[in-house]
């Protein structure tokens, strides 16, 4: 069932984010030259404009490390920590946004664990939504993994289509674990609001508030056709895009036009509100989400079969995952029992490198040669660290006996 045109719109949510491919057609270090000014503007806007309530850092805590590599130990770091602590800058739940099919379930768990650990260091309440806006399809056990971290919602772009599914639907794993899920628009996905409403008027946005408002009204009207519910999420989270400081004025105009609240809220709170108001059981899916988009659009292609792309990366990844999961980590558990748990920092180090390689554009093998050369270096470091940990453990246990 789709939205009835005469039904009153109950609430519109504006979602401000940036999608940060930390390496893709540039290396991490090259992208950092773009990341720093983007982050500087985000921090400045949030700290000076109380009408811009919050901004989401793509669900990836690795962005913080990349930024603070050159902006750490100063006023910007203090401002960053303050905004995170106050809930204005939302981080987590991931360390990096992974591909789900090319990485193990244990690696996905470690990814969420690392993301939550970094959130704890910042005294932040992590985003409790499985935010995977650009991942190329989704495994059947994903809701189950999310539920293990107390996450009851997800936001996706690929793997379903508008022809046979409401944009709000209940997605279940085979064990019955489920998450209320929102699928971003087919056209331009997580960056659709930017592309359809804002991009035409860059960089002189302030001169075109009226035109952007008219486009925003059409955007809302189209989004209402994708759901049976009286809710709309405005997806403004395009690749490497910065904060749009003029947005509060457009939101006020939308509120007046539709005679409903247009708000800026945490994504996990958005799902909680919608879940309370569901009229019975929503549309549902169980298992993998690997449907192709049926519309011919520029963005929302599934991009399957990346296992065969740069297979040397997949082989190295399997080797590292196997060594960590079946050798090094069981040994670290015994070390913990024996009171030598301080050695787990070596496992932490190895996983931090491995998870950097699990970002979707990295492990899928769709980046430039320079990126994949750096990945091989990381894989080598992971392998040598995990292997040496195992050898050292065997040596300790031999002499202990």
- The answer to whether the CB of 66 falls within 8 A of the CB of 32 is yes
Among candidate residues 21, 134, 162, 268, the one labeled active-site is: 134
CA distance 314 to 103: 9
CA distance 48 to 45: 5
CA distance 243 to 303: 28
What are 290's two structure tokens?
């690997």
Cβ neighbours around 281 below 10 Å, total:
7
Please confirm, yes or no, whether 134 is among the known catalytic residues: yes
What are 249's two structure tokens?
């004025």
User: What are the contacts of 73-81 at 24+ separation with CB within 8 A?
Assistant: 76/40, 76/43, 79/43, 79/47, 80/39, 80/43, 81/122
The per-residue DSSP string of 139-153 comes to -TTHHHHHHTTT--E
Of the CA atoms within 13 Å of residue 56, those in its CB half-sphere come to 31
CA distance 366 to 309: 7
E strands, 217-356, are 231-236, 262-263, 283-286
CA 20 to chain centre: 9
Give the neighbor-by-neighbor strand order of the sheet with 130-132.
130-132, 153-156, 178-183, 168-172, 283-286
User: Which residues are the active-site residues?
Assistant: 134
């Amino acid at each position: 069932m789709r939205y009835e045109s005469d039904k009153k719109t109950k609430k519109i949510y504006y979602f401000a984010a940036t999608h940060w491919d930390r390496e893709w057609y540039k290396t991490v270090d090259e992208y950092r030259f773009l990341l720093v000014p983007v982050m500087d503007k985000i921090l400045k806007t949030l700290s000076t404009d109380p009408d811009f309530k919050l901004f989401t850092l793509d669900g990836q805590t690795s962005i913080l490390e990349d930024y603070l590599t050159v902006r750490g130990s100063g006023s910007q770091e203090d401002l960053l920590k303050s905004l995170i602590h106050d809930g204005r800058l939302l981080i987590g739940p991931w360390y990096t946004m992974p591909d789900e099919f090319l990485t193990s379930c244990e690696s996905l768990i470690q990814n969420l664990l690392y993301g939550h650990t970094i959130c704890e260091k910042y005294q932040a309440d992590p985003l409790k939504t499985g935010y995977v806006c650009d991942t190329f399809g989704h495994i059947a056990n994903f809701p189950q993994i999310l539920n293990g971290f107390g996450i009851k919602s997800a936001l996706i772009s690929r793997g379903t289509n508008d022809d046979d599914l409401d944009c709000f639907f209940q997605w279940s794993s085979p064990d019955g674990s489920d998450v209320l899920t929102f699928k971003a628009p087919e056209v331009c996905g997580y960056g659709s609001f930017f592309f359809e409403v804002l991009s035409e008027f860059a960089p002189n946005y302030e001169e075109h508030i009226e035109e952007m408002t008219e486009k925003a009204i059409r955007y809302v009207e189209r989004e209402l056709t994708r759901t049976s519910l009286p809710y709309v999420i405005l997806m403004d989270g395009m690749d490497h895009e910065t904060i749009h400081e003029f947005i509060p004025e457009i939101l006020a105009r939308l509120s007046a036009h539709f005679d409903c609240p247009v708000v800026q809220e945490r994504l996990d709170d958005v799902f909680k509100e919608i879940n309370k108001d569901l009229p019975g059981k929503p549309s549902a899916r169980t298992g993998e989400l690997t449907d192709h988009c049926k519309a011919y659009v520029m963005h929302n292609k599934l991009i399957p079969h990346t296992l065969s792309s740069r297979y040397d990366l997949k082989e190295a990844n399997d080797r590292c995952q196997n060594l960590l999961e079946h050798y090094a980590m069981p040994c670290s558990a015994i070390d913990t029992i024996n009171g030598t748990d301080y050695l787990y920092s070596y496992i932490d180090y190895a996983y931090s490198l491995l998870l950097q390689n699990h970002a979707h554009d990295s492990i899928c093998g769709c980046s430039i040669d320079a990126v994949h050369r750096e990945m091989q270096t990381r894989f080598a470091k992971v392998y040598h660290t995990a292997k040496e940990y195992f050898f050292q453990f065997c040596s300790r246990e031999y002499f202990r006996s």
